[in-house]
Amino acid sequence: MKVNRALPWQKRLKNLRVAVALSAFLPVGGRRRFARRQAGYFEIRKITVPFAQLPPQWDGLTLTQLSDLHIGPGFTVRDHLPPVIEACRELNSDLLVVTGDWVDRHSRHLAEALPLLGELKAPLGVYGCLGNHDVFDTRRECLRGLRRLLGSRLLVNEAATFERDGSRLALMGIDYGHSAATAERHLRTVASRLPAADFRIMLSHDPARYPVLRQLGCDLVLSGHTHGGQISLTPEPHRVVGPMMFKFHYMRGLYREENSALYVNRGLGQTVPFRLNNPPEITQLRLVREKDKRLLDGINEI
């Protein structure tokens, strides 16, 4: 039985909507040429996130987050990927994570990208999870390619643990489910596999899962998926005013709920290569131990 696949009529309708959107770029040379002009254009964002419960052994831990590369015609291996690799090298974070949508609906461009993606390095390793575009049409092929790149560091309802001076930090990734039933099944699997740890970080492509993941004991959730709403009449730090404002609750930036946090990355690529007030981003998060409740309460959405 096939899972995570749209019904034929849903798939045809979705492809038609994408085709209509992409046709708008024909007068300016087509989607590929329009996207090529944006190669190397992204914001490097550095954020300090305080946690009262962060063990002192992990105080100052840095993570580079990439999301929504959408490797394909709109985000090419030759033009778009090299500047991203160089930026990650210069950030030199302790840990590097990719929160899904490695490819743009199809894995045919992934093989070409693997050698460059293999240049991503971090002292604690490079880890990732799957997004909706990774499981649309070529889930099996995408999994095969990413396993070749990351091995067990591709976290599909799985966890990795790190120890430092007797303190354990857990990093986990949840699979993407298109249907509510599949998403619920993934959440149950994750709940049963959460390792014992002093601090837990979850990679979840879809930020809508944050409330449940927070209740499961995740201290920090890293997501993408929304592209920041992609088109917004307002820039950050203001709330999104645009077509996606009623579709997503968590749109972009940092959110806090009690002692946990969610960061929604705007991503680097997109199927339709046009953004407004939502530039592509690479994020470096620095986790710090902070007991001052006034500072913790002062951070909501960026």
Examine the domain organization and report whether 191 and 288 are in the same domain: yes
Examine the domain organization and report whether 81 and 15 are in the same domain: no
Examine the domain organization and report whether 178 and 203 are in the same domain: yes
Is-contact 241 40, C-beta < 8 A? no
For the segment 105-148, what is each residue's pLDDT rounded down to a tens digit? Answer: 889 999 999 999 999 999 999 999 999 999 988 899 999 999 99
pLDDT of residue 105: 83
Domain that residue 22 falls in: 8-37
Q: pLDDT in tens for each of the 302 residues of the chain?
A: 233 333 444 444 444 444 455 455 445 455 566 666 777 789 999 999 999 999 999 999 999 999 999 999 899 999 999 999 999 999 999 999 999 999 998 899 999 999 999 999 999 999 999 999 999 888 999 999 999 999 999 999 999 999 999 999 999 999 998 888 999 999 999 999 999 999 999 999 999 999 999 999 999 999 999 999 999 999 998 999 999 998 999 999 999 998 999 999 999 998 888 899 999 999 999 999 986 555 554 444 43
Is-contact 289 61, C-beta < 8 A? no
Question: What are the E-state strand segments in 112-244?
Answer: 126-129, 158-164, 167-173, 199-203, 220-223
- Give me 268's structure tokens: 């680097």
Examine the domain organization and report whether 14 and 137 are in the same domain: no
Examine the domain organization and report whether 160 and 211 are in the same domain: yes
pLDDT of residue 178: 83
Examine the domain organization and report whether 68 and 190 are in the same domain: yes
For the segment 63-85, what is each residue's pLDDT rounded down to a tens digit? Answer: 999 999 999 989 999 999 999 99
Examine the domain organization and report whether 249 and 164 are in the same domain: yes
Is-contact 129 155, C-beta < 8 A? yes
User: How many domains are there within the chain?
Assistant: 2
Examine the domain organization and report whether 202 and 152 are in the same domain: yes
**Residue 302 counted as domain residue:** no
Is-contact 18 124, C-beta < 8 A? no
Examine the domain organization and report whether 19 and 74 are in the same domain: no
Say which CATH number the domain at 222 has: 3.60.21
Query: Which residues touch 140 (CB under 8 Å, ≥6 apart)?
Result: none
**Residue 82 counted as domain residue:** yes
**Residue 1 counted as domain residue:** no
Examine the domain organization and report whether 129 and 14 are in the same domain: no
> How far is Cα 239 from Cα 11, in angstroms, rounded to an integer?
31
The arrangement of strands across the sheet holding 61-66 comes to: 43-51, 281-289, 61-66, 95-99, 126-129
- Give me 157's structure tokens: 């309802």
> How far is Cα 201 from Cα 263, in angstroms, rounded to an integer?
11
Examine the domain organization and report whether 94 and 30 are in the same domain: no
Q: What is the DSSP string of 239-261?
A: PP-STTTTT-SS-SEEEEETTEE
- Give me 171's structure tokens: 């990093």
Tell me how long the chain is.
302
**Residue 3 counted as domain residue:** no
Examine the domain organization and report whether 186 and 287 are in the same domain: yes
Three-state DSSP class for residue 127: strand
